[in-house]
Amino acid sequence: MKKLFISFFLFIGFLCFAQTEQPEAKYKLKEPTGKPVTFKENWGFVSKDRVKEYSKDMPVTDVCLFSASINSYGELCDIPSRKIIDTGKARCHLVITCDSKSLSHFVLDPEYQLRKKLIKDIVAAAKDYDGVNIDFELIPARDKDNFITFLADLRYSLGSVKWFSVCVPARFKLLTDDIYPYAKIASYCDRVFIMAYDEHWSTSKPGPIADAEWCQKIIDYAVKSIPAKKLVMGIPFYGRTWQDKSHAGAWYFSGANRIMRENNVDKITYENDIPTFTYTTEVTVTGYFNDNYSVLNLCRLYEKAGIQKVGFWRIGQEDPTFWEWFKIKK
């Protein structure tokens, strides 16, 4: 009976391994050479739903826990408990997001009387955190001044004990009526995190998430606008794919029939009296992603430019061998 049980569990273990075993890669990644990079600070964003992808043994000085958000009523919600992540000696910052232009206007414009309460709620939510990170990426143009005064008010309310950082999009220059004027924002916070990624995005043509030439232009502007001690250059760990043809959509009757003719549909079935069809076609998928080699090259670009602090979106998405090449300056 003992032998039977052992054989059974070995068999089950083999099945589990067989089901999860990945096919062997036919491609080869470039291996980095040279010395590891060294920075004073590393700001790593961690999803509150994926805290297990982070380890306190990683060379990270500042963990940005993503995120608390703002609901339809302008209230702070979905606040993660500080207790869900052990950051060891690293500081932990609560990230606040607002993913709607209308909501951003609603909470930033002081006429609506929500701003004071939101600031009060952010301060209360950050009680157990080392700091707060503001990541408002959809601010209407008319609220550019409201955003700056909001940052000033939040800075004052947090006091000098809490760290205060702000995420801003990549820029090559100060835009006309710029919603994110680097210099002004820097005057109210301890760190400015430049999201130097999404050079190409889901609806653009295929291309790198952030290449060296593009990032160099961001550096050239950033160092003129943000003090070195406050500047954090964001680096992407992720990649994207694009397909050359999209077959999803809503169609006229004539359009649906044209598609069926072009793709040689020879059968229509009626499901609950609604006509439906299926066809198979070929698409070409193009992907750009980041591995140890590409991320390390961006780090070396920033290191050579004298940047002292970098950060990553998002921990868990990286080539795990990268951490062997990244050091924190003692």
Show which residues are catalytic: 137
H or E element, residue 216:
helix 212-225
CA distances from 18 to 10, 13, 22 (A): 12, 9, 9
3-state secondary structure of 98: coil
DSSP 105-137: HHHHSGGGS-HHHHHHHHHHHTTTSSEEEEE--
Residue 323: DSSP 8-state = G
> For residues 209 and 304, what is the distance between their CA atoms, to the nearest angstrom?
21
Cis ω for the linkage preceding 160 (within 30 of 0): no
Q: Are 139 and 107 in contact (CB under 8 A)?
A: no
